[in-house]
């Protein structure tokens, strides 16, 4: 069975810590071998647009001594109906790992099921684990160990929020999500978190969600593939992260956003461009954290 990196809930705390540690070592430049993936190739398959995931995986692979091949849905036979299963079987004969960004988590499952090389989740409609690994790394670089620290998610309970919930359970930190009715995370995910003993709370009150927290996280109101942007904007407006919302968190709280951001919508410019924002470190850490994932999966 290849070492896939599909979702955070499939790992135990020790393995997540091992991945983060590997990423840290690469960032510091003192890992045992700086080219552990020499001679290896990663296929990067994109069914959706990307800036950070695309560039950080490609640069990361090259820094680890490997190479990449890029496939988009429209420019490959995927766009003409070749199945994910057949694509997995074929790519497995050429490359040593596959990273997929997809509109449907079922495509990721199908790819992993039929691939004989490791598969990495580069975002689905349901989760974004590489992002949250980088986010945890960023939190800890600024504020120390995350275990027991309080994090608030404000806005749409989307794919990024789902991976935060999984991280909260696995790494043991309280997470409070402030989301409007109908835009919370899937009920089954909250039920899972509670059944695992996680400290995950869902509220419709944005102020309750952020009071006294160490970190406020948000994301776009309209994710790739979402419909009805007008309704989303109306309902999500009270969940905007602005100075008033930041002032309810700890004075030392940080602000995080996976990017791309829409200033004036989910976050005001004075917050994302202000002193509490760590969004550029977060973007940089995609590279380091994913080098940990690539080395763990493929070396
Ligand atoms: N945060 C993130 O995944 O960005 P991209 O969509 O640019 O890859
Ligand atoms: N929730 C966003 C994240 C983009 C990185 C989306 O899925 O579009």
Site residues for ligand 2, CB cut-off 6 Å = 123, 158-160, 219-220, 223-224, 258
Q: What separation in Å is there between the alpha carbon of 123 and the centre of ligand 1? A: 8
Task: Count how many Cα atoms sit within 13 Å of the Cα of residue 83 in the half-sphere of its side chain.
Answer: 11
Cβ atoms 136, 20 nearer than 8 A: yes
Closest CA to 265 of 238, 288, 290, 287: 238
pLDDT score at 32: 64
Q: What is the pLDDT of residue 34?
A: 74
Instruction: Give the number of whichever ligand sits closest to the CA of residue 131.
Output: 1
Neighbours of 276 (CB within 10 A): 19
Of 4, 215, 219, 290, which residue is the catalytic one? Answer: 219
Instruction: Give the position, in ligand 1's atom list, of the atom nearest the Cα of 130.
Output: 3
| Residue 33 exposed, middle or buried by CB count within 10 Å (0-12, 13-18, 19+) | exposed
d(CA 43, CA 120): 10
User: Does 282 score more than 80 pLDDT?
Assistant: yes
Query: For the residues 168-183, what does the mean pLDDT come to?
Result: 98
Distance CA 273, CA 289 (A): 23
pLDDT tens digit string along 103-122?
999 999 999 999 999 999 99
Tokens of 107: 């495509």
Q: Which of 160, 167, 141, 129 is nearest to 290 (CA)?
A: 129
Whether pTM > 0.95 for this model: the answer is: yes
The answer to which of 6-10, 32-36, 275-279, 290-294 has the lowest mean pLDDT is: 32-36
Average pLDDT of span 72-78? 94
Q: For residue range 162-172, what is the model confidence (pLDDT) as tens digits? A: 999 999 999 99
Range 143-167 average pLDDT: 98
Q: Which ligand is nearest to the CA of 53?
A: 1
177/99 Cα distance (integer angstroms): 29
Confidence at 256, pLDDT banded by 50, 70, 90: very high
Helices (H) and strands (E) in the chain, counts: 12, 9
pLDDT of 30 reads: 74
For range 213-226, the mean pLDDT: 98
Mean model confidence pLDDT for the chain = 97
Is 286 tagged catalytic? yes
Residue 31 has pLDDT above 80, yes or no: no
Give me the pLDDT at residue 187, please. Answer: 96
């Amino acid at each position: 069975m290849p070492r896939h990196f599909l979702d955070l809930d499939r790992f135990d705390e020790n393995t997540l810590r091992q991945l983060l540690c590997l990423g840290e070592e690469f960032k510091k430049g003192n890992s045992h071998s700086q080219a552990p993936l020499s001679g290896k190739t990663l296929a990067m398959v994109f069914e959706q647009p990307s800036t950070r995931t695309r560039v950080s995986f490609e640069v990361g692979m090259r820094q680890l001594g490997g190479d990449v091949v890029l496939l988009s849905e429209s420019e490959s036979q995927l766009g003409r109906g070749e199945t994910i299963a057949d694509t997995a079987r074929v790519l497995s004969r050429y490359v040593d790992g596959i990273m997929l960004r997809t509109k449907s988590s079922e495509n990721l499952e199908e790819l992993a099921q039929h691939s004989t090389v490791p598969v990495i989740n580069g975002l689905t409609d349901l989760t974004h684990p590489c992002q949250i690994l980088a986010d945890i790394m960023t939190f800890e670089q600024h504020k120390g160990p995350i275990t027991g620290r309080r994090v608030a998610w404000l806005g749409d309970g989307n794919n990024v929020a789902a991976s935060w919930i999984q991280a909260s359970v696995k790494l043991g930190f309280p997470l409070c999500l402030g989301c409007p009715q109908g835009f919370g995370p899937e009920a089954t995910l909250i039920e899972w978190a509670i059944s695992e003993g996680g400290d995950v709370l869902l509220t419709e009150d944005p102020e309750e969600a952020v009071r006294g927290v160490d970190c406020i996280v948000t994301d776009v109101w309209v994710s790739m593939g979402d419909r009805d942007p007008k309704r989303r904007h109306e309902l999500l407006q009270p969940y905007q992260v602005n100075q008033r919302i930041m002032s309810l968190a700890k004075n030392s709280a940080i602000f995080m956003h996976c990017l791309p951001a829409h200033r004036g919508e989910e976050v005001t410019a004075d917050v994302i461009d202000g002193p509490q924002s760590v969004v550029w470190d977060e973007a940089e850490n995609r590279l380091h954290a994913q080098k940990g994932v690539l080395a763990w999966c493929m070396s």
